[in-house]
Amino acid sequence: MIKPSFECKKNHNYVLSGILSVDTVPALWQQSQDILKLSKGSLLTFNLEHVTQSDSSGVALLISWTRMLNRRDQKICFVCLPSQMLAIIQVSDLEKILPIKI
């Protein structure tokens, strides 16, 4: 299994990679908290191009990040989502609450 990672790049851009599952998301959530505490940007972009696999836990993670950053008056945008995640989001009618750029 490819362990997921969450990295901060330049200008409030974050890159997520690996497998997002019920087994990996809790640790990734904790890791992301430490990184996002330091973020002062008004718009944060999360690139999921290197996510190799995701179940509904990965989608729940996106929802959690969105809610957390909205409470801090920061905007978030998800880009390059894998088709597997997009399918879960569409079937669950979550396009209205998740800021996704396709």
Task: Output the domain CATH number for residue 20.
Answer: 3.30.750.24
Q: Taking residues 41-70, report their average pLDDT.
A: 96
Number of domains making up the chain: 1
Q: Is 3 exposed, middle or buried (0-12, 13-18, 19+ CB in 10 A)?
A: exposed
- The answer as to whether 76 is a domain residue is yes
Q: What is the mean pLDDT of residues 81-86?
A: 96
Please check whether residue 39 lies inside any domain of the structure. Answer: no
Which pLDDT score, from 0 to 100, does residue 1 have? 63
What domain range is 60 assigned to? 5-32+49-101
pLDDT value for 41 = 87
- pTM for this one? 0.93
Q: What count of residues does the chain have? A: 102
Q: Is residue 89 part of a domain?
A: yes
pLDDT (0 to 100) of residue 98: 97
Helix or strand run (H / E) with residue 84: helix 83-91
